[in-house]
Structure 1
Amino acid sequence: MPVFFSLLAGVLFGAGLTISDMVNPARVSNFLDFAGSWDPTLMFVMAGALAVTTVGYKLIFRRNSPVADETFHLPTQRQIDLPLVGGAALFGVGWGLAGICPGPALADLVTLEPKLFVFVAAMLVGMIAASVLRVRVSAMKDLRQS
């Protein structure tokens, strides 16, 4: 059941990106171009997503548990640390250099454009590398503490 809901959420997310034309890199670039051809569309899409999310969270957290699982899985980290800031910076740099955001890149894979496959492959390699690095750093910390 959780896999079905994950797939449904992904399809809904991709449909929302496609309908709002957020899969178009020029749309996002123009949002960031305050001095030129500024396009506020992204702001309205984000405001709409925030409104739906706010209502959704209010409704969901009235329940004792989620529909498709036994407990809610919420982040426990409340601290802003180097991995968070570094990851956010790397995300922004990658988006700026490639002109593609990861969510729309996944949705755009259906176009079969080679540059999207290269981008998604690089994104997956980065995710794996970050995971391996996180495990190694954690192991080094454990060694120092013992």
Structure 2
Amino acid sequence: MRAFIALLAGTIFGAGLALSGMVDPARVRGFLDLFGTWDATLAFVMAGALLPMAIAWRLQPRLPRAASGDHFALPSTRRIDVPLAVGALLFGVGWGIAGLCPGPAIANLALAPLAVLPFLAAMFAGMLLHRLWAAQR
């Protein structure tokens, strides 16, 4: 059941990314180009995500567990520290350069697998480096 829920959620997420055009790196870079030909599409996608997330945050405390049967994995802290800030900076720089983040990159495996492979290789290398760095701490 857990695998089915993950597959269903991933399929809906990927379809939403494809439908909204967020798998197109040029569209994302257009959103980040504030002083050029700005493309507001991503702003509308983000705004459209606010209502469902607001509802989810209100419902979650009333639910005994997640749909998969697991407990909810919520952050234990709201503190902004150096690792969080550095991670956000690296994410933003990578997003701006490539026009992709992990969700759209994985969705692009179905649409343009060869074009997205360098990004995915870099993403997995970064995950490995983080794991090695965290193990050293």
State the TM-score, normalized to the length of structure 1. 0.84
Aligned pair in 2 of structure 1 residues 106, 70: CA closer, same or farther (>3 Å)? closer
Moved more, 53-62 or 23-32: 53-62
Q: Equivalent residue for 1:78? A: 78
Instruction: Give the percent of matched residue pairs that are identical in Structure 1 and Structure 2.
Output: 49
* 1:24 has 2:14 as partner: no
Cα RMSD of the aligned pairs, angstroms, is: 1.6
- Secondary structure (helix, strand or coil) at the match of 2:110 reads helix
* 1:64 has 2:61 as partner: no
Distance of 1:124 and 1:102 partners within structure 2 = 10
Q: Equivalent residue for 1:15? A: 15
Distance of 1:72 and 1:4 partners within structure 2 = 18
Structure 2 segments unaligned to the other structure (5+ residues): none
Count matched residues: 137
Post-superposition Cα deviations, 1:72-109, rounded to whole Å, max 9, x if no partner, equal: 22111322111111111111111222232221111011
Q: Equivalent residue for 2:107? A: 107
Aligned pair in 2 of structure 1 residues 76, 116: CA closer, same or farther (>3 Å)? same
After superposing on structure 2, the runs of 4+ consecutive aligned residues of structure 1 that deviate more than 3 Å are: none
Q: Equivalent residue for 1:135? A: 135
State the TM-score, normalized to the length of structure 2. 0.89
- Secondary structure (helix, strand or coil) at the match of 1:50 reads helix
- Secondary structure (helix, strand or coil) at the match of 1:46 reads helix
Q: Which amino acid aligns with 1:50?
A: L
